[in-house]
Amino acid sequence: MTLKPQNELTERDLKRGLVMVIWDGLASEVVTSLTGGAFLVAMALLLGANNVQIGLLAALPMITNIFQLLSIVLVRKYQNRRAISVLCLALARIPLAIIGVLVLLGGGSIHMLIFFLFFHFFFSSVSGLSWNSWMKDMIPEKMLGEYFSRRSRYTQTLNVALSIVLALLLDFIRSRYPAHELTTFAVFFMVAGIIGVIGAYLLSRAPEPQSYLSKARLFTLLKMPLKNENFRRLLVFNSAWIFALNIATPFFTVFMLQGMGLPLSYIIVLTIISQLCSIMTLRMWGIFSDRYSNKSIIAISAPLYILCILAWSFVGIYSRMYINLGLLVLIHVFSGISTAGINLSLTNIGLKLLPKKMLLCTSR
């Protein structure tokens, strides 16, 4: 199988590509479910992580985003977005398996975890930029909203099912074999690494339209989208949004585990509730995106999510636990609804605003 771009995509090529991108999305969701969120925090705490190290783990995806510039250099040189995206995606998943192996062999530590996760997020960042450009050219613009909402429904449904199984498994391990809890997390990381590499292979079977790259200077190309006023607004909003979220959200799980003393299974159930609400509203957001505008969705979803964050100030202050749990359920319900709209809208706006003459997005 060759990874070279194709001059023209047939309808059969497009259908195959759409299916393969969904399969890779499912594999990516397995990786995220097994190694992210509450599971990552719980494992880090078992390895002796302090608050600074928990914050660093949460910040790694943002820190490594600067290396997306490397993707531009690679695409300019090799003019093959699919090869770069697939190769870097595979390299991003291998460190996860290494983490699992090292923990099983007794060499696990919080410093080791941070070290290898840095490379995981580094290669993910390099892969992500070329993937976005590739998807923009491959998927017709008129179906972006519907397609990505359907893909998100599939991946989040898998996340819910997998979270239930993992929560039951962890409860069993904790009650029967508590000494093997860290070993269980190590197995999660190994499985995630293997499935992630399989997902990269499936993604390699999706076609790439031939791109015709600009010969302008790199700095000139980087300035090009900034000339678009709507893109500048998106950039400012997205930067402020990510900054605001990462001040507090990484520590919500730590608060529930250590401050409130909730079992991990409770936290997983709350996550499932959030995912279910997201799944149930994704189709609605996708229809609204194609029929109205993505900015309208953000205008509704962003304030709603901010209210959810403010509501965390009232969690844990009540003497009766069922009141605190009820508030947590409400927070996760509306968080799921709002994040579904925000994530879908930001993805669609970014893809639609990307100039056709940009380095990574030019095709006939």
* Per-residue pLDDT at 212: 61
The length of the chain, given as a count of residues: 364
DSSP string, 120-175: HHHHHHHHHHHHHHHHHHHS-GGGHHHHHHHHHHHHHHHHHHHHHHHHHHHHHHHH
Two structure tokens written together for 285:
């957001």
* Per-residue pLDDT at 359: 44
* Per-residue pLDDT at 202: 92
Single-letter amino acid, residue 135: M
What is the distance between the alpha carbons of residues 273 and 332, in angstroms, rounded to a whole number?
Answer: 7
Single-letter amino acid, residue 306: I
Over its C-alpha atoms, the chain yields an Rg (Å, rounded) of 21
* Per-residue pLDDT at 348: 75
pLDDT, tens digit, 9 for 90 and up, residues 285-339 = 877 777 777 778 888 888 898 899 889 888 877 778 888 899 999 999 998 898 8
Instruction: Give the mean model confidence (pLDDT) for residues 52-62.
Output: 85
- 175-179, 214-218, 247-251, 357-361: which has the minimum mean pLDDT? 357-361
Q: pTM for this structure?
A: 0.74
* Per-residue pLDDT at 363: 37
The candidate with the shortest Cα–Cα distance to 164, out of 28, 276, 328, is 276
Two structure tokens written together for 324:
């605190």
Could you tell me the CA-to-CA distances from 73 to 3, 147, 217 in Å, in that order? 18, 29, 11
Place of tokens 């099983």: 104
3-state DSSP call for residue 363? strand
Instruction: Give the mean model confidence (pLDDT) for residues 241-253.
Output: 75
What is the distance between the alpha carbons of residues 36 and 30, in angstroms, rounded to a whole number?
Answer: 10
Task: Quickly count: other Cβ atoms within 10 Å of residue 298's Cβ.
Answer: 20
* Per-residue pLDDT at 364: 34
Report which DSSP code applies to 255. I
Residue 362 pLDDT class (50, 70, 90 cuts): very low
pLDDT at 67 over 90: no
Residues in a beta bridge with 211: 363
pLDDT, tens digit, 9 for 90 and up, residues 94-104 = 999 999 999 99
* Per-residue pLDDT at 12: 84
What is the distance between the alpha carbons of residues 275 and 160, in angstroms, rounded to a whole number?
Answer: 6
3-state DSSP call for residue 6? strand
Could you tell me the CA-to-CA distances from 220 to 213, 225, 226 in Å, in that order? 13, 10, 10
Instruction: Give the mean model confidence (pLDDT) for residues 182-189.
Output: 92
Question: What count of Cα atoms within 13 Å lies in the side-chain half-sphere of residue 27?
Answer: 21
Residue 111 pLDDT class (50, 70, 90 cuts): very high
pLDDT at 361 over 70: no
pLDDT at 55 over 50: yes
